[in-house]
Amino acid sequence: MSHTLAALSAAAPLAAGWTVHGLWQHRLIDRAGRDALTGLPRRAAFEKSAARMLRRTGRDVVAVVVIDLDGFKQVNDIHGHAAGDTAIRETGRRLAQWAEPLGTVARLGGDEFAAVIRCPDPDTLRGELTHLHQWLCSPVTYDGLPLPLGASIGAYLHTPGPAVELPEALRVADEAMYGVKQTGGGWAITHTPTPAYRTVNGRRDGRRGTDLDAEGGAG
């Protein structure tokens, strides 16, 4: 018995060390999968959970949402990149709080974000998008000054039925976002999974990153 106790005592610190090491590795992996500025998931992690939500709609509707800030370039040009970083961080925080009980959200790059949320019906989604747009248009404070920002939001509404692939859903949501951006911002919903614009490198023609290869795109 004494030999067994001695062996267990000797093994305890080693086991504890491996536990700490495992936790440390898990945190490193989790951190690598998140955007450094906002803490939101990067594209790869987002795509996994978003695709899973699209496959498992159940009785709910699922919306794939693309968000692009309006006025962000002016904030950077007038107030500097530190102000721009503050705006991105605060936008990420608002989006995470909005999407947390409903689904998942990610920063795709620059001032582009995406989300997938689950709602009981289309009317609920309209209310959620109205709330989100109002919130994202609320000024962000930097160095005591309000930074005026707007947002353009496009959503693809997927109802229970035939499966839709995430890239197609993101593309049509992006097209809906582009449409409202041309008229000064707001939000719009599309129900068709078929893109209306020519696709280049998986993105709407003319979108940032279409002139880059798939691995080097800006998001």
Instruction: Give the active site residues.
Output: 111
Phi–psi pair at 158, nearest 5 degrees: -110, 115
* Measured torsion, CA atoms of residues 172, 124, 164, 133, in degrees rounded to the nearest 10: 30
Helix (H, G, I), strand (E, B) or coil at 17: helix
Beta strand 140-142 with 145-147: parallel, antiparallel or unpaired? antiparallel
SS (H, E, C) 34-71: ECCCCCCECHHHHHHHHHHHHHCCCCCEEEEEEEEEEC
| Beta carbons of 189 and 125 less than 8 angstroms apart | yes
